[in-house]
Each structure stands twice: as C-alpha cells, then as structure tokens.
C-alpha cells in the first residue's frame, strides 16, 4: 500500500465550528506533514511530525492544532477559522526525516481536503 488517504475530501465550516481533518498511511513511514495550498499557489509547510512527535511548527496560528495519535494517523483540528483559511490541506509522509548526510526521503502526498470557511 503506497497511498496516503485523507478525509474528508471536501469540508465547509463556519467560523465558530470545530472540525478535524484526518490523514492515514500504512507504508510504515515515521515522518508526516501538513501543508496548506491556496489556489494557484505552491504548497506551504505547516507542521512536521517525526516518530509521533511534533518536530516543526512553521508559525501556524493556534486555531490549527495538529495531533499524531500513532505512527499511521495524523489529524489537524480546526477551531475558529477565518475565511482566508480556505484552502487545500495536504498531508504527506516519508520514511523518516532525511538529512543531507543520511538520505533524502521522498514525500508521498495525499489528495488533500478542500476546506471552505464561511
């Protein structure tokens, strides 16, 4: 299984709602990532988990809260979002965090969740 799955595919929420995005992989990867992609723009890194621990937070507002319950699952909890948070949210995984010395690990991307905040 070389697939990263994401649910839901589409999500519409109000600014007072609480929702969660889910990501799953069964490739035995130990690094997982959340990206945000606005229309006609490249993906921007939000969070990185390595061995279920948060490794990088790219100064993301606290209304986005990541969670890695186990090595196969990655969640993104959403609360009090703004309309400008509407975007495609992409999850990715890699075997582990690479380095120039050790190796570079290909990141496998899921199809994304299209989020609309009203």
Binding residues for other proteins (CB under 8 A): 4, 31, 40-45, 48, 55-56, 90, 92, 94, 97-100, 104-112
* Least gap, CB of 16 to other proteins (angstroms): 29
- Contact residues for 48 (Cβ-Cβ < 8 A; gap 6+): 31, 32, 33, 54, 55, 56, 97
Q: Are strands 87-94 and 113-117 parallel, antiparallel or unpaired?
A: antiparallel
CA distances 58 to 16, 40, 47, 54, 114, Å, are 24, 21, 6, 11, 21
* Least gap, CB of 36 to other proteins (angstroms): 12
* Least gap, CB of 20 to other proteins (angstroms): 19
Report the residue number, 26 or 41, with the smaller CB distance to other proteins.
41
Report the residue number, 79 or 108, with the smaller CB distance to other proteins.
108
* Least gap, CB of 2 to other proteins (angstroms): 11
Measured between alpha carbons, how far is 79 from 2 in angstroms, rounded to an integer? 31
Report the residue number, 80 or 97, with the smaller CB distance to other proteins.
97
């Amino acid at each position: 299984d070389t697939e990263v799955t994401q649910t839901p595919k589409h999500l519409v929420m109000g600014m007072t709602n609480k929702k969660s995005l889910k990501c799953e992989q069964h490739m035995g990867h130990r690094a997982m990532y959340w990206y945000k992609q606005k229309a006609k723009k490249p993906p921007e890194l939000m969070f990185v988990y390595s061995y279920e621990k948060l490794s990088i937070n790219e100064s993301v507002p606290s209304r986005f809260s990541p969670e890695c319950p186990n090595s196969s699952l990655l969640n993104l909890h959403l609360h009090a979002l703004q309309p400008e948070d509407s975007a495609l949210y992409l999850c990715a995984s890699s075997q582990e965090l690479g380095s120039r010395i050790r190796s570079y690990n290909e990141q496998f991307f899921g199809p994304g969740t299209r989020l609309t905040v009203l």
